[in-house]
Amino acid sequence: MTLSPCDKKEYCLHSAITINFIMDLLINSKKYSVNVSPDESLLTVLRNELDLTGSKYGCGEGVCGACTVLINDVAVRSCITKAGSVAGKNITTIEGLEKNGKLHPVQQACLDVDVFQCSYCAPGMVMSAVSLLKKNSAPTKDDIVKGMQGNICRCGTYPRIVKAIQEASNIQKG
Ligand code: FES
């Protein structure tokens, strides 16, 4: 246990003392050791400590879904998830979806359907869709709309997102 130095991203102001821990995070099947406060958000650790910048900062309040990652295959908002709460769990980010040079079916379907415009929401959308398909491999349109409700796209590409998830479901079925 160490008191965080004031010259890092954490700060020490009189009574506000940040305590860092060295913790192991398993991200995309790779172990990372980080020296951070367990109260730091997972999103900040991913982006600022590990340079895994695929997950995006949007609202910072758990509302928009831009920061979505998978913890043990379940979609969570990394901006409101404390790093200390996910030590030892399987964390998957958008960087970990591609396997052996092959895109995940959701990624491939998003390209095939030409879903995104500005693409800021894309990583979070894709991760939520992957989680949705893990729970329900053949979702109806209503299932998709309901399952993706927490992900906001300011470009309004929702109809194409639904189409891409249906297509990804078909790709997975082979
Ligand atoms: Fe995490 Fe918006 S940035 S939900």
- In the DSSP assignment, the letter for residue 122 is H
The pLDDT score that the predictor gives to residue 18 is 75
**Residue 4's pLDDT band (cuts 50, 70, 90):** very low
pLDDT in tens, 104-115: 999 999 999 999
Quick check: 106 and 133 in contact, CB under 8 A? yes
- CA 115 and chain centroid, separation: 18
Cα–Cα distance measured from residue 159 to residue 167, given in angstroms and rounded to the nearest whole number: 12
Cα–Cα distance measured from residue 81 to residue 169, given in angstroms and rounded to the nearest whole number: 29
Ligand 1 mean position, distance from CA 58 (Å) = 5
Backbone φ and ψ of 25, nearest 5°:
-120, 135
**Which atom in ligand 1 lies closest to the alpha carbon of residue 62?**
4
Cα–Cα distance measured from residue 91 to residue 77, given in angstroms and rounded to the nearest whole number: 12
**Residue 149's pLDDT band (cuts 50, 70, 90):** very high
**Which atom in ligand 1 lies closest to the alpha carbon of residue 78?**
1
- Mutual orientation of helices 158-173 and 122-135 as an angle, nearest 10°? 50
Share of the chain above pLDDT 70, in %: 90
62 CB near ligand 1 (under 6 Å): yes
pLDDT in tens, 72-86: 999 999 999 999 999
Quick check: 94 and 76 in contact, CB under 8 A? no
Would the pLDDT of 12 be above 60?
Answer: no
Cα–Cα distance measured from residue 83 to residue 48, given in angstroms and rounded to the nearest whole number: 13
